[in-house]
Amino acid sequence: MTTHTDELRRRYRAFLAPQDEPDQVPAGAEAATLAVPAESPPSRTGLLAELIDLFRQRPGLRSVVLTVGGDTIGVAHRSTLELFDPDALRGDCLSGPMPGPPVRFTALYFRCPHPPCPNQKILLFVDGAPPECDRHGPMIQEA
Ligand SMILES: [Zn+2]
């Protein structure tokens, strides 16, 4: 799994915060965890489009921790994502070396049902049980 995590770190490094900045992982309601499916991780442009959508849909969200199989890949911050122009991104998809429709993922939101616990997770896919809060157990899915 470590090799896979390293590979994904390289794949997504353009929009991840540097690994050696632990303070960059904020606590509280403005951060979320996004679990990348290990079997079929999205392309760089696919994940970037998904992150831009997430930040657009959730104005209070500041940072997203990307994980795969329980390992942390890295942290994507709103301030970094704002540097990417979604329109330019779309053009890149159309004219890139791998033609075809961009892969899109449906994000599912989960939160801990024990307020004021701020833990929340965003999953691109759900296979079976819902994600768990580190402290309180199973999370519930938001509408
Ligand atoms: Zn909790």
- Span 58-74, pLDDT tens digits: 887 888 888 888 888 99
Kindly indicate the confidence band of residue 20, based on its pLDDT and cuts at 50, 70 and 90.
Answer: low
**Dist. CA 110 → ligand 1 center (Å):** 11
Name the residues around ion ligand 1, CB cutoff 5 A.
Answer: 112, 114, 117, 119, 133, 135-136
Contact of 16 with 9, CB cutoff 8 Å: yes
**Dist. CA 137 → ligand 1 center (Å):** 7
Task: Give which of 33, 49, 37 is closest to 8, Cα–Cα.
Answer: 37
**Dist. CA 139 → ligand 1 center (Å):** 8
Secondary structure of residue 98 in the 3-state scheme: coil
Q: What is the pLDDT of residue 33?
A: 81
For the chain, which residues make up each domain, given as ranges? Answer: 2-17+27-141
Check whether 14 has a pLDDT greater than 80.
yes
Task: Give which of 60, 67, 65, 66 is closest to 30, Cα–Cα.
Answer: 60
